[in-house]
Every structure is written in structure tokens, then in C-alpha cells.
Amino acid sequence: MINQTPRLVLGICGRVFGARTRPRQNELDTLRCPTMLNSLANIGRFGNFSAQIAVRVGRRPFFYREIIAQLWSTTTQCVLPVMAVTFPFGMVMALQGLEIFRMFGAERMLSSLISIATLRELSPVLASVLVAAQGGSSCAASLGAMRIKEELDATEVMAVDSIKFHVVPRVIAMTIACPLLNIAGSIAGVAGGYFTAVYIKHESGGIFLTELWAFMGPMDIYGGLIKTTIFGLTIGLISCYHGFRATGGAAGVGKAVNDTVVHSVVAFITLNYFLTSALFGAVAP
């Protein structure tokens, strides 16, 4: 009876969480349990994977060429989508902002509002969404295809650490690329606002440029860069995690890409709230 107690407890816990008490041997890795337990297990696996990456970052050899190649491909892939998204968003902000400011006769304020909103919030978030959609998903797709074609196993057979060679450069490249793309996005966003305000709504261009930096502090510029560095790290880790664990042929790669985009967007938008509160000090006086 005493010997049976742990199994009994486990069994009751399993019933409560709905898990099967004794998983079949071939299901041990992907425990067929309901959503809650499974997502908890996934969070654990993700933490484990991140720790494995963190251990390998400081260790020789550093694959510089691989890092630079990944950085180049991520940046060139993403720069056009990022600018193509922030430019029209700046235009929309000018369009809607003018409507508010004309109520108070404060059209002068428009450009400072646009620059603050773009640098602090819009450009980091939109750039990261596009980096997740373009860079993260292509990273997951390429790693997933390597996993399916057993190229990662081949790397291991050749006594090259596959995480060290394939994953770490991608994560580092994503972490560096995201702030760079944020700079491009910020410039495009403010340019979009200028375009609408001056050429479409016929405000004065000189006032726009003078007032651009009126409320701007150094924290507004660094804050966006700090945020996007953290977002880039998140996207890199999540996309490599999903790509590295892809199973089940072409369908598995599709699912990995899908999960990458959704999970990384949810993760960094949740982080964004806490980072904004911390960096820009928005607490009740």
C-alpha cells in the first residue's frame, strides 16, 4: 500500500489535469495531454533550449562569418517591409492627429507628437512585428527544413555542435538586426508624417521640422533601441526553438512557421507593456 501511494497521487494529479497516467513509450516526448499541461511543458522546453544557447554564446569558436551572413540576410530581407509599414503608419498618424490638433488650433504640436509616438512605440512594435513575420519565420523555415532533411543530425555526426553553429548565430543576428531595423523604421515613420502633413494637408514644413525635437529626450531614442534589442532576442529564441524542434515533414515546417509568428508577436507585445512602464516611467504621481 505504501509503495502504491506515489503512483496513486500521480494518478489523481493526472486525472485532475487530464493527463494520461502512463504515457505510451513512443509518446514520451510529446505527451498527449490537454492544453494547459502541454503549454507548461513547452515553456519548460523553451527555457531549457534558451539555457543551452546561453551556455554556448561565450564559448569558442565564434562563427563570425555565419553571424555576419545571417545579419546581412535578415537585415536586407526585412528593411523594405519595415519601411513599407512604418511610412504609411506615419501618414495615418498625421492624418488623424491633425484632426485632433485642429480642434484646439495646435497644429504646431503635430510633429512632436508624431516623432515621440514613432520613436517610442510605433516603430519598435511595427518593426518587430515585421521582423517576426519576415526574419523569424524564414529562420524557423530554414532551420525546420534542415531538421526535416536531417541536415542538423548530419552536422552533429561531423562533430560540429548544431546549436553552436546553426542556432547561436541566428539568435545573435536577430538581436542586432532588430534595433537597426527600428532606426530605419523610425526614419520612415517620421518621413511619412512629414509627407502627409506638408504635401497633402499643406501644413508648414519649417514648423514641422522645428517642432520635431521639442519634447524629445535622450531616453526616447535609447528606449526604443533597448526595447527592440529585447524584442529581437525574444524573436530569435522563439523562432529557433520552433524551427529546431520541427517534426513531421513539410506540414511540420508550416506549423513551425505559424507558431513562430504567433508566439513571438504575443510574447513581445506582452513584454512591451512592462518595458514601456519601466523605461518611460509612466506611474501615478
**Residues near other proteins, by CB under 8 A:** 81, 84-85, 88-89, 91-92, 95-96, 99-100, 109, 113, 116-117, 120-121, 125-126, 129-130, 133-134, 137-138, 140-142, 144-145, 148-149, 215, 249-258, 261-262, 265-266, 269-270, 272-273, 276-277, 280, 282-285
Terminal alpha carbon distance of the chain: 61
Looking at the Cβ atoms of 24 and 126, the one nearer to other proteins is 126
Closest CB 53 distance from other proteins, rounded Å: 21
Closest CB 200 distance from other proteins, rounded Å: 8
For 149-282, where are the alpha helices, taking DSSP H only? 151-157, 162, 168-194, 205-211, 218-244, 249-279
Looking at the Cβ atoms of 49 and 87, the one nearer to other proteins is 87
Angstrom distance (rounded) from CA 123 to CA 178? 11
Looking at the Cβ atoms of 157 and 262, the one nearer to other proteins is 262
Looking at the Cβ atoms of 171 and 257, the one nearer to other proteins is 257
Closest CB 258 distance from other proteins, rounded Å: 4
- Burial pattern 189-227, b for ≥16 Cβ within 10 A else e, equals bbebbbbbbbeeeebeeeebeebbeeeeeeebeebbbbb
Collect all residues with Cβ–Cβ distance below 8 Å to 34 and sequence separation of at least 6: 17, 18, 19
Looking at the Cβ atoms of 67 and 267, the one nearer to other proteins is 267
Looking at the Cβ atoms of 10 and 40, the one nearer to other proteins is 40
Closest CB 51 distance from other proteins, rounded Å: 26
State the greatest distance between any 2 C-alpha atoms of the chain, in Å, as a whole number: 86
Q: What angle do CA 59, 63, 68 make, to 5 degrees?
A: 130
SS3 202: coil
Closest CB 84 distance from other proteins, rounded Å: 5
Closest CB 116 distance from other proteins, rounded Å: 5
Beta carbons of 167 and 67 less than 8 angstroms apart: no
Q: What is the DSSP letter of 61?
A: P
